Structure 1
Amino acid sequence: MTGINWEDPFCAEGNNCFRIGTDELGNAYIAVAGQEDTPLTDTTKALRTMILDIKAGKADHLL
């Protein structure tokens, strides 16, 4: 696996923190902060859209 460059954690109220990362090939990853060794992967656009929707309260139960 190529190296993943992780962004700063996004944290909701409480302990819900997750991070987005990208690799040199442009693949995007998302992981619970502190568990970056087991990320989910998808396109950067899909992951960013999901996070923005969660932050907007559209899917708060997913956290």
Structure 2
Amino acid sequence: MTDIQWEAPFCGEGNNCFRLGTDTEGNAYIAIAGQEDHPLTDTREALTRLILDIKAGKADHLL
């Protein structure tokens, strides 16, 4: 598997925590904290937009 550099976990108001990561090729990943061996992948821009929308309350039902 690609060597992913994970950022610190972001936790919502409940027990929901996720992490963003990038690899040396610039690919972005998102995973539930503690389950980093099964990440989703997309462009960093797409994942950043998703996280910003969640933090803004636009998709809080996902957390």
TM-score (norm 1): 0.97
Mapping of residues 29-48 of structure 1, within 5 Å: 29-48=29-48
Post-superposition offset of 1:16: 0.8
User: Runs ≥4 in structure 1, deviation > 4 angstroms?
Assistant: none
The unaligned stretches of length 5 or more in structure 1 are none
CA positional deviation for 1:2: 1.7
- Report deviation, 1:41: 0.2
Over the matched positions of the two proteins, sequence identity in percent amounts to 78
User: What aligned pairs does 1:1-63 form with structure 2 within 5 A after superposition?
Assistant: 1-63=1-63
In the TM superposition, what is the alpha-carbon distance from 1:14 to its structure 2 partner? 1.4
Gaps of 5+ in 2: none
User: Counterparts of 1:35 and 1:41 in 2: how far apart (Å)?
Assistant: 14
